[in-house]
Structure 1
Amino acid sequence: MNDRDDLLTIGQLADRTGLPVRTIRFWSDIGVIPPTCRSAGGYRLYDAEAAVRLDLVRTLRELGLDLDTVRKVLTSRCTVAEVAQAHVRALDVQIRSLRLRRAVLRSITRPESTTEEMILMNRMARLSARERQRMIDDFVDRTFDGTDAQAPGAHIAGLMRGLPELPDDLTPEQAEAWLELADLVADTGFQESARRMAVAGSAPENASRQPLPFDSALVVEHAGSAVAAGVAPGSAEGRAFLDRIVDPALPAEDRGRLADEVETFTDRRVERYWQLMGVLNGNAPFAPVAHVFEWFIAALRASGN
């Protein structure tokens, strides 16, 4: 501009932009909005473009950019798009952290929550996705170590590794599921039980064995009905339910062997593992059946005596 009468004093610039004089003066002092020139008395004067630049500075500051980054944008050392992309990535991390923190806080509002649970929940929530996956992978590696990778049940190892990235909008149920899962894979008893299943499932003799002499669907149906009705496994009524699942003529010795085999693959903790994985993967919940097979096992043993 050539006409100094068109220049604005810092007060006039403040009136035009709605920004406080002290803010404009500070930004001017640090070189974000330098004055166009100075008056004969040494006062700062700004052109009309300064008002546009001030609006941009205000917008960038409200978006969370620091003044050094704003200065780089205004001096064309980086573009607004580049800055925005960097801040989107940073905000994604912050949002995820806040959502995890919210989930933790929600979960510990339960009256039964303990200080230990609160600390553990917070620690688990802060683990990276890689650290969480490593916990699961270490458990699966120990469980299937040395077993036949070509065995019929070997694919279960892959399924057991299926820990998803925790969703951005983590629910309290998912936060609690992750906490319980982490606690479960660290449990020695659970590790031993899962190992027994893996070894038994990959044993060479199991590849050519005959199908088990019962239908799992019948166990769920009839043993489930017995459990729901409170029928004791060793009672006469319990025997009637059992006869609907296995051949009543099945010898006592075979009943005992069958009970041992079914017991090898029956553990409420393993079933809970799959339930927790389902919660984390957003799958529809499934009804637990391990307790039904426990009744079936007890009934087989009682009928074999």
Structure 2
Amino acid sequence: MLTIGELAEHAGVTVKTVRFYSDSGLLPAASRSAGGHRRYHPEALDRLRMIRSLRALDLPVPEVGRALERDDVLEDVIADQLRELGSHLAALRWREAALRLLRDCTPSERAERLRLIGAVSTPPSTASLARFWRRWLPVRMPAAAVSAFLDHAVPEPPADPTPQQVLTFARLHALVSGDCGGGPLPQPAAHRRDEGVRPAVLYAGLAEAYALAGPQLQKGHSPHGGEALDCFVGAYAQAGGVRDTPAFRHRLSALLAADPRIDEYWRLTAQLHDDSPPTPGAGHDWLCTALDAEVARVSA
């Protein structure tokens, strides 16, 4: 059996430290001497070293207590701490890039950039972007279809941003949080209740069409007819329960030309991740242009 002083000496800590862990329940004494002094089993030395190691990683005392009970709990505690640390590191990287952005701009730019950056949480959240799209999408969209669309439409903030990416995300946040994000949003015709469109069918077909058009955009090909355009038009036809005919394509071209546009959103999204696939907005514009060209050619 070890006295509290012997245990502290072997572990390289103070008696006060051993007493603190004992009083916290992390290192209970095996017994007490006739004089009331604590006595510890030799195995307590290994436990004390484990406690010190965990505390050196900044684990709170309650988490250390949980981690000492079972190995699987220790794994959960480590995973939780890694997530928390990752969030702290992301916040620090974001702050560093924001400070560099402010340092390197002109005095005339600084006030606007401070306003934009100050409106974004650290680390940044995509909640405002998701809210924007939930209000833009048809109200009767199934939850699974909404989630699938948000996965493509809402960009994740860069883990290690450049100053320019910080500014771009701040502008994106301001765009969806400003007047267009606070008042009623103009809806595309296909979103309106009186059009009789099945939104889940429409957006599933559009996602497939955008995926087909993506490689064409990346290669720099001009908008043209083909599988991607047929899939695009077919999505609107199937969603509305009509046939894909030349007359339908003509009507669809006019309908899409009258829809409200959010080009600035897609432009900023594309700037945020230069190496990402084309945005749904870019795919939509490419396919609309291809449809307009085909309708004009047929009508000529």
| TM-score of the two chains, using structure 2 as the length reference | 0.52
1:47-126 equivalent positions in 2, closer than 5 A = 47-76=41-70, 79-112=73-106, 113-126=109-122
| 2:12 aligned to which of 4, 14, 18 | 18
**Partner-residue secondary structure (3-state), 2:153:** coil
Report the Cα distance in structure 2 between the residues aligned to 1:186 and 1:44, rounded to whole angstroms: 62
Residue 36 (1) aligns with residue 30 (2): yes
What one-letter code is carried by the residue in structure 1 that aligns with 2:129? R
2:171 paired with 1:180: yes
Q: Please tell me the residue identity of whatever aligns with 1:99.
A: R
Q: Assess, with a 3 A threshold, how the Cα gap between structure 1 residues 116 and 276 changes in structure 2: closer, same or farther.
A: closer
Q: Is the 8 A contact 2:8 2:18 kept in 1?
A: yes
Aligned with residue 131 of structure 1, among 128, 133, 136: 128
SS at 1:124 equivalent? coil
When residues 38 and 188 of structure 1 are mapped into structure 2, their CA distance, relative to the original with a 3 A threshold, is closer
**Uncovered stretches (5+) of structure 2, i.e. residues with no partner:** 139-148, 181-185, 190-220, 222-256, 277-300
Alignment deviations for residues 48-104 of structure 1 (CA, whole Å, 9 cap, x no partner): 111100111111112222112222333449721121122223223323223222222
| 1:282 paired residue among 258, 274, 281 | 274
Q: 2:162 aligns to what?
A: 171
Task: Name the SS of the counterpart of 1:45 in structure 2.
Answer: strand
Q: Tell me the secondary structure at the aligned position of residue 39 of structure 2.
A: strand
Once the two structures are TM-superposed, the CA of residue 166 in structure 1 deviates from its matched residue by 0.9
Q: Quote the RMSD (CA, aligned, Å).
A: 4.0
Q: Structure 2 vs 1, CA of residues 136 and 181 (structure 1 numbering), >3 Å: closer, same or farther? A: farther
2:153: which partner in 1? 162
Aligned mates of 1:59, 1:282 — CA distance in 2: 42
- The one of 2, 8, 12 equivalent to 1:8 is 2
Question: Quick one: distance in 1 between partners of 2:105 and 2:158?
Answer: 26
Q: Give the aligned residue type for 1:169.
A: D
Structure 2 counterpart of 1:38, one-letter code: R
> Which residues of structure 1 form unaligned runs of 5+?
1-6, 145-157, 190-194, 200-216, 218-263, 285-305
Q: Deviations over 1:128-182 (max 9, x none)?
A: 22322434676x76xx9xxxxxxxxxxxxx89x7341112112212111122334
Question: Would the aligned equivalents of 1:72 and 1:78 in 2 still touch at CA under 8 Å?
Answer: no
Q: TM-score, normalised by structure 1?
A: 0.51
Deviations 1:203-236 (A, max 9, x none): xxxxxxxxxxxxxx9xxxxxxxxxxxxxxxxxxx
Q: Which residue of 2 aligns with 1:289?
A: none
Kept in 2: contact 1:173–1:279 (CA 8 A): no
Tell me the CA shift for residue 38 of structure 1.
Answer: 1.8
**Structure number with bigger Rg:** 1
- In the alignment of these two chains, the number of paired residues is 194
Distance in structure 2 (CA, Å) of the matches to 1:37 and 1:87: 34
Taking the aligned partners of 1:79 and 1:273, their CA distance within structure 2 comes to 44
TM-fit CA distance, 1:121: 0.6
Q: 1:278 to 1:54 in 2, by over 3 A?
A: same
SS in 1 for 2:63: helix
Contact 2:113 2:167 in 1 (8 A): no
Decide whether the 8 Å contact of 1:163 with 1:281 is kept in 2: no
Call closer, same or farther: CA 1:97–1:186 in 2, change over 3 Å. closer
C-alpha change, 1:67 and 1:273, in structure 2 (3 Å) is closer
The CA distance in 1 between the partners of 2:166 and 2:31, in whole Å, is 59
Q: Which amino acid aligns with 2:96?
A: R
Identity fraction in percent: 33
| Residue of structure 2 equivalent to 1:237 | none
Report the Cα distance in structure 1 between the residues aligned to 2:85 and 2:163, rounded to whole angstroms: 22
